[in-house]
Amino acid sequence: MNKYVLLVLINAPLIMFAILMAVTSYKTGRSTRRRCTVLVVFWLLVGIGMLFVEPLYDLLVRKNLTASPPLSVFDILLLSGLIFQMLIMVQLYDKLNNLSRKVSRMHEGIAIMEESKLKVNGSVANV
């Protein structure tokens, strides 16, 4: 099998999964429309880049801009690993961001609750 086809076959499901995750995140209210758009465009660009790796490589060789050997099985593994890592990184960033907002809101809520408790206990003059 052509190695470039193999590269696309391995990574296309990953990219589709990433796009689906970005859209789901927006549709379920965990993410903003802007963030969803940025992520979808990003993953589409990665996908398009993947589809055109072979013509791009040919072009670079023709223009004497690269002297690297053609795609090897190791390259495929390396690229797939990189894309998988990017997917994990985006997921982790989202999770961290949501967690940070939750902690922020909890902190805010507790601070306000503490003030109300003080007022009830009579430590602060009622307004």
Partner 1 sequence: MESSGVIGDRRRDVLAVIIPAYNEERAIAEVVRSVPPTLTVDDQTFRTVVIVVEDCSRDATYQNALDAGAIVIRHFINSGAGAATRTGFSYVLKNAERLGVAYVATIDADGQHSSGDLLHLLREAVATKADMLVGNRLHEGNKADMPRHRTLGNRGLSLISRGLFGITTEDTQSGLRMVTIDALPAISRFTIDRYGFCSEILWRARQKNLTVVEVPIGVKYSEETLGKGQSNWGVFDLVTDLITLRLIG
Specify the residue, 77 or 124, whose C-beta has the smaller distance to partner 1.
Answer: 124
Q: What are the residues binding partner 1 (CB under 8 A)?
A: 32-35, 38, 101, 104, 107-112, 114-115, 124-125, 127
| Nearest distance from C-beta of residue 47 to partner 1, angstroms | 20
Specify the residue, 49 or 109, whose C-beta has the smaller distance to partner 1.
Answer: 109
| Nearest distance from C-beta of residue 52 to partner 1, angstroms | 25
Specify the residue, 48 or 124, whose C-beta has the smaller distance to partner 1.
Answer: 124
| Nearest distance from C-beta of residue 33 to partner 1, angstroms | 8
Q: Under a CB-based contact definition with an 8 Å cutoff, are residues 91 and 19 in contact?
A: no
DSSP assignment string, 4-56: HHHHHHHHHHHHHHHHHHHHHHHHTTSS-HHHHHHHHHHHHHHHHHHHTHHHH
Specify the residue, 81 or 117, whose C-beta has the smaller distance to partner 1.
Answer: 117
Of 126, 107, 106, the closest CA to residue 116 belongs to 126
Classify residue 79 by burial, with Cβ atoms within 10 Å: 0-12, 13-18, 19+. middle
